[in-house]
Structure 1
Amino acid sequence: MRSASVNNECYAQVVAKANLHKHILHASHDLHKHISRTVNEFEHSSLQSTFGWDSDISFPKVLGDVIESLAGAIFVDSGYNKEVVFASIKPLLGVMITPETVKLHPVRELTELCHKAQFELSKGKGFENGEACFTVEVKAKEMSFAHTAKASDKKMAKKLAYKEVLSLLKKSLDS
């Protein structure tokens, strides 16, 4: 539960939903463009009401840092009172993850599934035309499932590749 809700992606989504990104002061034109593009993409996605690992959007780390900075400032200003921090931040966060809605990160879920079922899992990474590439392949009995994902950063490429192979593997196991 903790790793699913206390992560940069969830915090960044909270910042985008609350329009707090408009209050970030910085001198980088590229960062401003990246934040604007990401928030716009998020606002037009179907994931606005979800949290966790479903997002295919790569949020700039600075967005998640906003929540951590707010919590830290409130913690210091309140005389190091955790209850005040929680009471102040909770309305902003809302109900991000509950036991009913929690999902494992696709990397963890596929890794655990392969280990349990004794499937062979292989992976590779690299760069192509300035984009991060990540390939995942699972050999399950007589079948093989593979996918290569490209993204602006290697963490997102890895997540997308694992997510796709996990989906293919689950469909195969269900039929």
Structure 2
Amino acid sequence: MELQQEAAAVGMIKVLDIRSENYEETRKERNHQSEELSSGYMTATHQTAGWLPSLDDVEGILNYKFKNKKLLEEAFTHASFPDKCSSYERLEYVGDSVLNLLFTKEQYFMYPDLPPGALTRLRAANVDTEKLARVAIKHGLHRYLRHKKPVLEEQIREFSQAILDYPLHSNGLVDAPKALADIVESTIGAVFIDSDSSIDAVWKVFKDLLEPIISHETLKVHPVTQLYEVCQKRNLQVKFVDLWKDNMAFDVFVGGQLVGRGTYGLKKEIAHNRAAKDALNNIERILGEKDCSLMNSVPLVDVDERKHVKLEQTLHI
């Protein structure tokens, strides 16, 4: 199936031809980043009231001049925007395939000894919704998104704040607005079409914009996968209890003991991932093992002294 998807992507192309030691410094830096983000939201909010930022500025961000300006306009037009211009959906479709092919090619030559499964995970981490949404925020592309969807503004604001705790990737702990990833893919598609289907031209424009690119060395294991791996080594059963419908939460039991909880009201998957992450944090505190160490952890439930003793007994230490 994977080879068929890869062949389809290639065929389509051819057809188209941590934590800081100084808390105060960290706080100031985050405040500074928040102020920068806020200035971007002013632009985004005004556009929904009738004022549109100049898309010419996007050419400066990309360091690329479009021969067909309509492609650039289309790349930043959400389906909710009442305009004669087509929405970005078709260009997003093109950009998604182009981006997958670019990373497939790049990683094939960069990692000659990695098996297909590892290459697939590495590519997926570099083209998923959160990674691309980060690119949009980092370079201010969200400011030029033309839409009439007020809730999107708050989603972008929350995402921009949440990722400050995760410098590279949250691994499923943060809810990324899909529209942000969409405009990165649609812009890639626009450059591809505008450059007469040149893969090299697209990579030249986006290689630096996509930094930091997740490497084999910086790729982290998903918290759910990691939890199962840690417990499997000790022949312990992991059980997730779905409380999301009533309490927007998941509980995690290891060997019959409650070891973690995750909550998130807007997306069930995020609550599930946070529960796994919290369980790992609590297990790590007791085991102190490097193989279940995760960065920037914030426990969502407290493991009191009695639970701590029970968990030690469950983990056989």
More helix by share: 2
SS in 2 for 1:127: helix
In structure 1, the partner of 2:144 is 23
Change (3 A) 1:2 1:111: farther
Given the alignment, which residue of 208, 211, 231 partners 1:91? Answer: 208
Query: Structure 2 regions of 5+ residues with no counterpart?
Result: 1-121, 290-317
1:74 shift after superposition: 1.9
Runs of 4+ in 1 over 3 A off after TM superposition: 54-57
In structure 1, the partner of 2:278 is 164
Change (3 A) 1:114 1:81: farther
Residue by residue over 1:6-60, the C-alpha shift from the partner in whole angstroms, topping out at 9 and shown as x without a partner, is: 2111111121111111111111112223223432x247x343xx22235743221
Given the alignment, which residue of 191, 204, 217 partners 1:74? Answer: 191
Amino acid at match of 1:108: T
Residue by residue over 1:124-151, the C-alpha shift from the partner in whole angstroms, topping out at 9 and shown as x without a partner, is: 222236xx32222222xxx835222111
- Quick one: distance in 1 between partners of 2:236 and 2:124? 25
Given the alignment, which residue of 106, 117, 127 partners 2:245? Answer: 127
Amino acid at match of 1:158: H
In structure 2, the partner of 1:63 is 180
Query: Is the CA contact (8 Å cut-off) linking 2:192 and 2:201 kept in structure 1?
Result: yes
In structure 2, the partner of 1:174 is 288
SS in 2 for 1:128: helix
In structure 2, the partner of 1:147 is 260
Amino acid at match of 1:172: I
Query: Structure 1 regions of 5+ residues with no counterpart?
Result: none
Residue by residue over 1:150-170, the C-alpha shift from the partner in whole angstroms, topping out at 9 and shown as x without a partner, is: 113112111111111112223
Query: Is the CA contact (8 Å cut-off) linking 1:149 and 1:161 kept in structure 2?
Result: yes
Q: Which of structures 1 and 2 has the larger relative contact order (alpha carbons within 8 angstroms, sep 6+)?
A: 1
In structure 1, the partner of 2:157 is 36
Which structure is larger by alpha-carbon Rg, 1 or 2? 2
Query: Is the CA contact (8 Å cut-off) linking 1:134 and 1:158 kept in structure 2?
Result: yes
More strand by share: 1
TM superposition score normalised by structure 1? 0.81
Count of residue pairs brought into register by the alignment: 166
Residue by residue over 1:71-95, the C-alpha shift from the partner in whole angstroms, topping out at 9 and shown as x without a partner, is: 2222222233322222211111112
Residue by residue over 1:95-135, the C-alpha shift from the partner in whole angstroms, topping out at 9 and shown as x without a partner, is: 23123322111112112333343220111222236xx3222
Query: Is the CA contact (8 Å cut-off) linking 2:172 and 2:222 kept in structure 1?
Result: no
In structure 1, the partner of 2:51 is none
TM superposition score normalised by structure 2? 0.47
